[in-house]
Amino acid sequence: MKARASPLAQTSEQLRILGQANGIPPFEEKMRAARLDPLCATGVTVFQINVGKLCNQTCRHCHVDAGPDRKEIMTRETAELCIRALAKTDIPNVDITGGAPELNPNFRWLVEQGVELGRHVIDRCNLSVLLLPAQSELACFLAQNKVEVIASLPYFRAAQTDAQRGDGVFDKSMAALRKLNELGYGQPGTGLLLNLVHNPVGAFLPPKQQAMEAQFRRELERRHGVVFNNLFTITNMPIGRFLEFLLASGNYEGYMQRLANTFNPVAAAGVMCRYTISVGWDGTLYDCDFNQMLALPLGFDAPQHVRDFDPALLFKRRIATRNHCYGCTAGTGSSCGGSIT
Amino acid sequence: METYYHPGDLAKFAEIGAGNKELWEKFQSYYAAVFAEGALTEREKALIALAVAHAVQCPYCIDAYSQACLEKGSNMEEMTEAVHVACALRGGASLVHGVQMRNAVGKLSM
């Protein structure tokens, strides 16, 4: 969107459109009715670092608007601030995302520092990055450091996956998954976790996680000899390139109504922003990666930058919400760890 | 454009309950039980419903179960096969009545 100078490249334009979804009540109104307003953090167990927008893919649904042309990546100095902040806490999980986070030159350093601090490190991987010639040792590095790989794979068939992520991505994903399997990822008893992420290829909600996981397991093993640990189903957020798709295809209002009509108070009580802190490529703090992409910083007098990281203030902070938050509370709920309920 | 069927009318389905609340509630409860996971999965039931929607040619049902099938994890290939099942049954039901035609012709002919 940025390269095409689309109006939606401006986060203010996305927020304007989200504020004008006809026929749905403001998200805060639903939360009030569910006695969840104001929404507050309940402590932080996930320290999520978005190391930048650089990616080797240009997926049609990407909320980050990531791609090979993006230059915004985290510097070593900011990465060091992240590790310093992390060391001040006992947050158990470090979740590294992007873009393709592995393309950041500081990625491996971040992983090693996280491991040295005794934290569980997660790499949100697009799979195809593992096949790049310059990344030939990456899979081994991840295995050596016992990094959990959470890999995007929207569907177990090529047509749907390629429609969302680009021609040939499915075949590359299978090759990368086999490589991970050979290293022990997804295999019982190795402790090397390989979890897949399914998100719908279109303007509809994801299936029930357990049912879809069974389908993925059967199809990937039967057709491709690939194994994995768990499948996470994630709802597409109505922001970024997915918002652009919704508007261009005439699906925006119907999708927003679907999200609002299936608002689930139980899912709303368990949304991931309540236990996550998200750090942007420039060190700015956010409630989640989606707020980050909408440039919605922490509100209500919370520290704004990782250099000012203050666990006491951040662990009980009030969370900034807008209508895109319906994406996390619809149906069985959605988070970076999949379905909420 | 003026049409007999309006896509927005599907959302008004519950208004039928205004005429007889008790029957509507019984129908809703039965409907929910039918589509719950049982010996068949929710995904399989949605595919059956999609085929039936095409057999009875209900535009509301086609819209609703196209979306439902996707939301249960089905794909275009499976959904197209389901529609072909409906087509085969409808076509076969016509063709098998050719036996009646043959019986009638047989009786009338020398």
Q: What is the pLDDT of residue A31?
A: 97
Residue A255 burial (CB count, 10 A):
24
pLDDT, tens digit (0-9, with 9 covering 90-100), for A76-90: 999 999 999 999 999
Smallest CA–CA separation between B75 and chain A, in Å? 8
Q: Is there a cis peptide before residue B59, judged by omega within 30 degrees of 0?
A: no
Q: Rounded to an integer, what distance in angstroms lies between the CA atom of residue A295 and that of residue A275?
A: 19
Q: Quick check: is B14 in a domain?
A: no
Q: Quick check: is B24 in a domain?
A: no
Total domain count, chain B: 1
Q: Quick check: is B76 in a domain?
A: yes
pLDDT, tens digit (0-9, with 9 covering 90-100), for B15-70: 999 999 999 999 999 999 999 999 999 999 999 999 999 999 999 999 999 999 99
Report the residue from A159, A202, A215 with minimal CB separation from B73.
A215
Residue of chain A nearest B46, judged by CA positions:
A207
pLDDT band at A150; cut points 50, 70, 90: very high
Smallest CA–CA separation between B69 and chain A, in Å? 9
Domain of residue B94 covers 41-108
Residue A226 burial (CB count, 10 A):
24
- Cα A308 to Cα A50, A280, A302: the distances in Å are 18, 14, 10
Burial track A152-163 (b if 16+ CB lie within 10 A, e otherwise): bbbbbbeebbbb
Q: Rounded to an integer, what distance in angstroms lies between the CA atom of residue B38 and that of residue B36?
A: 6
Beginning with the edge strand found earlier in the chain, give each strand of the sheet holding A276-279 in spatial order.
Answer: A230-233, A194-198, A148-152, A120-125, A93-97, A46-50, A276-279, A285-286
Name the token pair of A22. 């006809």
Query: Model's pTM, two decimal places?
Result: 0.92
Interface test with A, best of B13, B40, B71, B81 (most A CBs within 10 A): B71
* Interface residues of chain A, partner chain B, Cβ below 8 Å: 155, 157, 159-160, 200, 202, 204-208, 211-212, 215
Distance from the Cα of residue B71 to its chain's centroid: 17
pLDDT band at A300; cut points 50, 70, 90: confident
Within 8 A of B76 by CB-CB distance, chain A residues are 159
Smallest CA–CA separation between A256 and chain B, in Å? 15
Q: Rounded to an integer, what distance in angstroms lies between the CA atom of residue A280 and that of residue A278?
A: 7
Name the token pair of B80. 């197209």
Cα maximum dimension of chain B: 61
- Is the pLDDT assigned to residue B7 strictly greater than 90? no
Q: Rounded to an integer, what distance in angstroms lies between the CA atom of residue A153 and that of residue A161?
A: 7
Q: Rounded to an integer, what distance in angstroms lies between the CA atom of residue B63 and that of residue A145?
A: 48
Q: Rounded to an integer, what distance in angstroms lies between the CA atom of residue A341 and that of residue A200?
A: 18
In three-state secondary structure terms, B78 is helix
**CB pair distance less than 8 Å for B77 and A157:** yes
CATH number of B45's domain? 1.20.1290.10
Walk me through the domains of chain A, giving residue ranges and CATH numbers: 7-329 (3.20.20)
In one-letter notation, the amino acid at residue A80 is E
- Whose CA is closest to A86, among A311, A323, A330, A249? A311
- Is the pLDDT assigned to residue A106 strictly greater than 80? yes
In one-letter notation, the amino acid at residue A159 is A
**CB pair distance less than 8 Å for A211 and B73:** yes
Q: Is the ipTM of this complex over 0.90?
A: no
In three-state secondary structure terms, A277 is strand
**CB pair distance less than 8 Å for B75 and A160:** yes
Q: Quick check: is B20 in a domain?
A: no
Name the token pair of A278. 């998200």
Smallest CA–CA separation between A254 and chain B, in Å? 10
Residues 6+ apart with CB under 8 A from A2: A9, A65, A69, A70
pLDDT, tens digit (0-9, with 9 covering 90-100), for A214-243: 999 999 999 999 999 999 999 999 999 999
Within 8 A of B67 by CB-CB distance, chain A residues are 204
